[in-house]
Structure 1
Amino acid sequence: MTPEITNYFGYAASFFVVLSFMLKDITRIRIVNLVGCILFVLYGIYSNYLWPIIIPNAVLCFIQGYHLIKKKA
């Protein structure tokens, strides 16, 4: 993947994370933040495995997913 496209993943991830701070509904916050975290994981992978970006965002993906599933149950 080209570095230019990889940067778009990073910009999109940042956008979704910032957007999640502007929402009030907790379910929407978790969904939007989950999208941002997934994009950050992809950005980290496509940027030659930036582990300090991949690890915390992967953990946050599991946390957000857990709370979304728990809320539906």
Structure 2
Amino acid sequence: MFGGWIEWIGYAASVGIVISLLMTNMVKLRVINSIGCVLFVIYGVLVGAYPVVISNAAIVVINAYQLYKLSKEKN
């Protein structure tokens, strides 16, 4: 029914992204979304889906920048 361990990384990434969208706190949303995106980067590399790698790596960078900005606003 379900594939091997590589496919489970893709499922975990999807779950992470969905859970992040349920967050009302922006910091939690960005952190959980980044975890999901990192898992998608790993998944994309393993299956050779480089558009998945590039787009999710870019989202991780965007999330990191936004988290940096949020941390500066609190200080």
Please report the TM-score for the alignment, with normalisation by the length of structure 2.
Answer: 0.87
Please tell me whether residue 29 in structure 1 is matched to residue 29 in structure 2: yes
Q: Which runs of 5+ in 2 are unaligned?
A: none
Which residue in 2 is equivalent to 1:61?
Answer: 60
Moved over 2 A (4+): none
Separation in 1, partners of 2:71, 2:39: 24
SS at match of 1:67: helix
The alpha carbon displacement at 1:69 in A equals 1.6
Q: What letter matches 1:55 in structure 2?
A: I
Which residue in 1 is equivalent to 2:4?
Answer: 4
The alpha carbon displacement at 1:34 in A equals 0.3
SS at match of 1:24: coil
Separation in 2, partners of 1:16, 1:31: 10
SS at match of 2:69: helix
Please report the TM-score for the alignment, with normalisation by the length of structure 1.
Answer: 0.89
- Residue correspondences, number: 70
SS at match of 2:55: helix
Q: Which runs of 5+ in 1 are unaligned?
A: none
Separation in 1, partners of 2:25, 2:49: 32
Separation in 1, partners of 2:9, 2:65: 24
